Structure 1
Amino acid sequence: MHDRYPVRVEAELDDRLSRWLWLVKWLLALPHFIVLFFLWIAFLAVSVIAFFAILVSEQYPRGLFDFNVGVLRWSWRVAYYAYGALGTDRYPPFSLDEEPDYPARLYVDYPERLSRGLVLVKWWLLAIPHYLITGLFVGGAAFGGRVSDVAGDAYTWSGPGLIGLLVFFAAVALAFTAHYPRGIFDLIVGLNRWVYRVAGYAALMTDRYPPFRLDMSG
């Protein structure tokens, strides 16, 4: 059994999904996309502040940490509803808080201490191998090596990335069979889990290097 990684992504597939709702989710989720655009700007600003705080104190200020976790959490819920998974038809809440009843959940353990040395290199140098891999998952934008590209673009249609391709196959299956193939679902969740682990690491939330593996259970 693998040790629990500090960034955890959970998902539950709806028992019944609409055949055609996915065609208009881009419109239904538009208010979330607008809010998340500004939240990700704030996320990056908070990450810069946290960078200097860690250099000085070896700690990520708890209020800033909770805010950035909330942005990741919100992004995952919207991605799961929309074109990062299409795993639920339940409209995501406008909330930075935990929503334990929602079928998409994200948790990040708060670190009591973070390395001053690692904070200088992990988000750009050490994470490069993961940026290259997750770039294939979410599309070419993530090759830029920015945490906002790695996870922030995941709540929109993932374009030519592997996640986007798999979600398209799932949408076609829904349209013709009213069934979401379980194998595709597990793979999509595993790929998203990899993406958000890297996002948490690159956003300085943990010093534990993300594993190179797919954990495909919900």
Structure 2
Amino acid sequence: MTALAGTPDRPVRVSAVLDAPLSRWLWLVKWILIIPHYVVLFFLWIAFTVVSVIAFFSILFTERYPRPLFDFNLGVLRWTWRVGYYSYGALGTDRYPPFSLGEEPDYPARLDIDCPERLSRGLVLVKWWLLAIPHYIVIGFFLGGRQLGWWDGGLIAVLAVIAAVTLAFTEKYPKDLFDLVLGLNRWVLRVAAYAALMTDTYPPFRLDMGGAEPDEPEVLS
């Protein structure tokens, strides 16, 4: 897969390929297999929060998000998305996620965010809490309780498990269900990037379903 080209109205791009064939039963033990990732992500998300605070003051005084800090937080979001895609955020691949903050172009779950040249000093004061409140309410239903970068008990996890049960009996992951799960994850990741001050583009209240971004060709497994 190649990186998706960004546009001013779509700086956050989420893509994924549904692997085939998928194991019919591996999903039952993935929560054990990704415990090492949970441990690492716990500390990465602490660092993510600290970096976001530093970036807040940098934007406030210079209108810039320092590129090394941006790349680190992007790496944490990418790592989180890969773990979520492997586990109960999608169950869309059996390929074990790499322990990496990098781009990992060969992994079936991708996240790209354009680093902005300048960010609004005014928006940085309100977007992460006030302006994002409507989205927080919506994605709260998607995620349920979220801990250490994985999805627990919300609509996304429920749909992923339904897909896994279907896979166990039919050996197929329902394509329509995959498209919906990806759309929900895409919404969550757009909001995460906005709340983390990585873009001034307000996330759309829109469910862009499917493994590819709108207007991008679908990549088949």
Q: 2:95 aligns with which of 67, 90, 95?
A: 90
| 1:186 match | 179
Using the TM superposition, give the Cα deviation of residue 174 of structure 1 relative to its aligned residue in structure 2, in angstroms.
1.3
Q: Which amino acid aligns with 1:129?
A: P
| 1:122 match | 127
Q: 1:164 aligns with which of 152, 157, 160?
A: 157
Is structure 2 residue 83 aligned with structure 1 residue 78?
yes
Using the TM superposition, give the Cα deviation of residue 208 of structure 1 relative to its aligned residue in structure 2, in angstroms.
0.5
Distance of 1:153 and 1:182 partners within structure 2 = 28
Using the TM superposition, give the Cα deviation of residue 120 of structure 1 relative to its aligned residue in structure 2, in angstroms.
0.2
Distance of 2:8 and 2:67 partners within structure 1 = 24
| 2:218 match | none
| 2:140 match | 135
Distance of 1:36 and 1:9 partners within structure 2 = 20
| 2:72 match | 67
1:9-48 equivalence runs, <5 A: 9-48=14-53
Structure 2 residue matching 1:113: 3-state secondary structure: coil
Q: 1:207 aligns with which of 183, 197, 200?
A: 200
RMSD: 1.3
Q: 1:155 aligns with which of 150, 170, 173?
A: 150
Structure 2 residue matching 1:65: 3-state secondary structure: helix
Distance of 1:138 and 1:210 partners within structure 2 = 17
Structure 2 residue matching 1:169: 3-state secondary structure: helix
| Residue 4 to residue 104, structure 1, CA distance change in 2 (3 Å) | farther
Using the TM superposition, give the Cα deviation of residue 64 of structure 1 relative to its aligned residue in structure 2, in angstroms.
0.2
> What is the aligned length?
205
Q: Which amino acid aligns with 1:155?
A: W
Using the TM superposition, give the Cα deviation of residue 155 of structure 1 relative to its aligned residue in structure 2, in angstroms.
2.1
Q: Which amino acid aligns with 2:150?
A: Y
5+ residue gaps in structure 1?
A: 142-148
Distance of 1:15 and 1:98 partners within structure 2 = 22
Is structure 2 residue 169 aligned with structure 1 residue 176?
yes
CA contact (8 A) 1:80 1:155 kept: no
Does 66-75 or 175-184 show the bigger shift? Answer: 175-184
Using the TM superposition, give the Cα deviation of residue 26 of structure 1 relative to its aligned residue in structure 2, in angstroms.
0.5
Identity %: 72
Distance of 2:115 and 2:182 partners within structure 1 = 23
Indicate the structure with greater helix content.
1
Give CA-to-partner distance per residue, 1:155-176, whole Å, 9 cap, x none.
24x21x1101101111110111
Structure 1 residue matching 2:98: 3-state secondary structure: coil
Task: Report the TM-score when normalising by structure 2.
Answer: 0.90
Does 169-178 or 76-85 show the bigger shift? Answer: 169-178
Give CA-to-partner distance per residue, 1:110-163, whole Å, 9 cap, x none.
000000000000000000000000001001x4xxxxxxx5xx65524x21x110
5+ residue gaps in structure 2?
A: 1-6, 212-221
